[in-house]
Chain A
Amino acid sequence: MRSRVRVWIVVASLVVLHFVLHVGFGLGPAAPDLLTVALLIGARETGLGTAAGLGLAFGLLEDALSVLSFGANSVAMTVVGTAGGVSRDLFVGDSLVFLASYFWIGKWVRELLRWVVVREELRHPFVDQILVQAPIGGLYAAAVGVVIVTLSGLWREAPR
């Protein structure tokens, strides 16, 4: 199977699994943020324009369920997708340490941007949300992302 096809199959599967776990089974924070992991994997495969579009699409899907902070996820995911696309040109990224850092930073930045964009009354305290929960969520996403990339065979394939 060609690498590109495999990447998109992984990305699509992660998106479906994310909504099955979060919406279908209502697991909430107990389930990893597979949408961000999917976006970061997809962003490494595509250019930054497509990655930004992917981020906007994923963000809108999340915003459709958050209603009262509509747009916050769209902005956060679009910026993260763009940054992921840019990172493709800056880093080759063929080590596990790089991959883990990439997923961790991506998830943390997503939470930070969402916190910035969301209405002030809807924000949780900065320390709790950004300095405690976001790094933990980032570790969770990094662990899951590395496992997925390794198991799916995407690791070792240098981005084009």
Chain B
Amino acid sequence: MQWSARRVAPYRPESRDRRSRRQWPPAGAFLAAALITAYLPSGAQAGIGFVLRRTLLRPFIVLQEGVAAARLRATRVEIMRGQLDSLVALVSTQAALAEDNRQLRDLLGLSQRLGSTFRAATAVRPGTNGSESVFLLDVGTRDGVAVGAPVVNRHGLVGVVREVHAASAVAMDWSHPDFRASAMLADGSGYGIVENRRGASSEENRLLLNGAAYHERVPEGTRVLTSGLGGVFPRGIPIGVVLGLAEAQAQWRKSYWLRPMVELGSITHVLVAVAVGTAPDVEDDLSAAWPVQADSGRAPSAAGVDPR
């Protein structure tokens, strides 16, 4: 009896401490996996992200596309109502047809001015932590979109495509710290690099025209366009308007604050440059697609009209 008591351990419920100790190895493994994930090559990270977006997160992305489409339809109804009111007013007052003709021509949209070198796309903002400067597009390689393709809307440059898949793409906007664009003044008199400068809060993010020649004085309100140098963006896409001098360095260069042409909060539909064959060459001048608006320096637009 004494022998069996020594050989057969009495049954007791597992202690809480023991259970807790048993949980540490898997917890450590998951922590290690998380750390490895953070330092994986960007290609592997993009692969994981793509798989999750195409599977578990797909319903939510589709939902946002649906919500964006519903908002657009609502906006179009408002525009049509406005146009109807305008027509009624026109018929009743016999106002000058020339002025109305000009306004209606404005509504034709940027996509017609740019032609087939750009594809219309819906921009989806993830709205989660860490995705502030990133948006998803519903066009991909099968539409001719490639990494580095510029993304524009009716006001100017929105950002650039960073990752492309068959039917989707990931792009970053101008508020991302990695955003850079070779730029020039609208009259071609000066060149520089436009980059993002983070403010004390995300609402204070601004654009900076860096590397402008010291001897050159750039007046406030001057439009800044992409220069076509560097082989990323075609020439002539509006980026911003000069607000004032930011700094002058050692009498050899100046930098200027810019007011961005594109307000990022309102981005739902954009145009993306397509690749190969019909793509705009970086030396093409696209500035004619964004004629100057007298009051603000922005491209003309009808309220609520999307670029396509």
Contact = CB atoms under 8 A, between A and B. Distances in A.
Contact of A49 (B23, B38, B53, B201): B23
Contact of A27 (B40, B45, B127, B163): B127
B24 A48 contact: yes
A19 interface: yes
A31 B128 CA distance: 10
Contacts of A135: none
Contacts of A89: 16, 20
Contacts of A53: 26, 30
A81 B176 CA distance: 29
A70 B49 contact: yes
B293 interface: no
Given A55-B30, A71-B40, A62 B130 contact: yes
A70 B38 contact: yes
A74 B23 CA distance: 19
Please classify how large the interface on chain A is, using the bins under 10, 10 to 19, 20 to 34, 35 or more: 35 or more
B162 interface: yes
B156 to A, nearest CB: 22
Interface in A134-155: none
Secondary structure class of chain A's binding surface, majority of residues? helix
B64 interface: yes
A77 B178 CA distance: 25
Interface residues of B, number: 55
A157 interface: no
Nearest to A70: B45
B127 A124 contact: no
Contacts of A66: 126, 128-131, 134
A91 interface: no
B20 A48 contact: yes
A124 B202 contact: yes
- Name the residue in B34, B64, B178, B202 with the highest tally of chain A Cβ atoms < 10 Å from its Cβ: B34
A60 B57 contact: no
Given A48-B20, A67-B162, A70-B49, 18 more contacts: A20-B60, A22-B127, A23-B63, A23-B124, A26-B124, A56-B30, A61-B56, A64-B48, A66-B129, A67-B46, A74-B34, A75-B31, A78-B30, A78-B34, A79-B34, A114-B129, A118-B130, A124-B201
Interface of B: 16, 19-20, 22-27, 30-31, 33-35, 37-40, 42, 45-46, 48-50, 52-53, 56-57, 60-61, 63-64, 67, 124-131, 133-134, 136, 162-163, 170, 172, 176-178, 198, 200-202
